[in-house]
Homo-oligomer: A and B are copies of this chain.
Amino acid sequence: MAEVHTERRERLRARCAAAGIDAALVTRPVNVRWLTGADAVQALLLTRDGVVLAPAEGVHPEQGAAADQPEGVELLRAAPGADAAALLAARCRGAVLGFEAHDLTVLRHHAVAAATGARLTDLEGAVERLRAVKDEDEIAQLRIAAEIGDQALGELLESILVGRTERHLAMELERRMVDHGADGAAYPVRVGSGDHSGRAGHRATDRRVEDGDFVTVALGACYRGYRTSATRTFVVGLAPADWQVELHRQVFEAQRAARESLVAGAAPDSAELAARRVLDAAGLLGEVTGQGIGLEIAEAPRLGLQELGKLDNRVPVTVAVGVHLPGRGGVRIEDTLVVRPSEDGGPELLTITTKELLAL
């Protein structure tokens, strides 16, 4: 557990103190990881002056969790099968115990309530909000994750695509990302060809890539827990059709406008508004999506039209624009970038692989 995790816990402690919360019981795995840096911890209790960690089942308390255990960090010794959250709650000495109502199930909440004399109150996503702004170490991991995805995609594009199934191409990309040092894929790689191209969330099928197809690939690597995502659309064959060139250009322009809007201080709806202006002018109906990315592929903040507030510096986000023409296919382009102040040159693009319309 490095200093950075001590500092993160300090920030959570300050938030809790400001909200009148004496101790925080954190159970959501991704939040536990962010606060401890350890995979092998299943829950933690953050008190005013220390922290108690519950090792994951099957992990010996001596192992993994905290070989370089700093002062104030205590390990819970729990019998297998016991609910760690309840055991931690029993250690709360304060009057008000914060918990994660969006993670703890009703069953576990019962056990927690029975184990503590403290009043339980929802932390209301406090850890997720702290996680939105990344430190430079986290951004460095994201840069590596993005580079791995770029490499895997670049290699695939040098091979023959015609005749291979979407599923095969997806598997190969996942393997290549691992070969380049990824923990794994950030999410199942999506490959959509022909009529499947240009859609968000399309799952790879046994359809074989044909000459003249649009092919949309969405992929991202997970590197030391940090995930990125990029989507690109190509044409298979020597010469793209005119409609393909035109559609690709329009989606590219819309996504570029969205991307460039993402400077520190911008409103969360700026990306969607910018993309819609381009799509509307072209008379296209499209899908514009965006959100934070880091330990999760979709985390705070959201970039939709209903969102309030302002974008902070050092917030990594994805921004995607897709247009699908039923029966023909479509184009989707997505990047991961980091919100930066305009005086520093604006958003930092992490997924730098080309967005040109390649004919393969």
Report the stretch among A104-112, A154-162, A260-268 that lies at the interface. A104-112
A328 within 8 A of B: no
Residue of B nearest to A306 (CB): B81
A175 within 8 A of B: yes
Interface residues of A in 85-111 (CB under 8 A from B): 99, 101-107, 109-110
A122 within 8 A of B: yes
A78 within 8 A of B: no
A178 within 8 A of B: yes
Q: Which of A105, A109, A122, A167 has the most CB of B within 10 A?
A: A105
Give A102 to B109 CA distance when docked, in angstroms.
Answer: 10
Residues of B within 8 A of A110 (CB): 101
A20 within 8 A of B: no
A175→B175 contact, CB < 8 A: yes
A58 within 8 A of B: yes
Residue of B nearest to A28 (CB): B105
Cross-interface CB contact of A105 among B58, B105, B167, B184, cutoff 8 Å: B105
A171 within 8 A of B: yes
A201 within 8 A of B: yes
Give A109 to B102 CA distance when docked, in angstroms.
Answer: 10
Residues of B within 8 A of A107 (CB): 101-102, 122
Give A178 to B178 CA distance when docked, in angstroms.
Answer: 17
Would you give the shortest CB distance from A297 to chain B, in whole angstroms?
Answer: 15
Interface residues of A in 148-172 (CB under 8 A from B): 167, 171
Give A103 to B109 CA distance when docked, in angstroms.
Answer: 11
- 19 examples of A-B residue contacts, CB within 8 angstroms: A58-B200, A58-B201, A99-B106, A101-B105, A101-B107, A101-B110, A102-B105, A102-B106, A104-B105, A104-B106, A105-B105, A105-B106, A106-B106, A106-B109, A107-B122, A167-B178, A171-B175, A171-B178, A175-B175
Binding site for B on A (CB under 8 A): 58, 99, 101-107, 109-110, 122, 167, 171, 175, 178, 184, 188, 200-201
Which 3 A/B pairs are nearest by Cβ-Cβ distance?
A101-B106, A101-B107, A102-B107
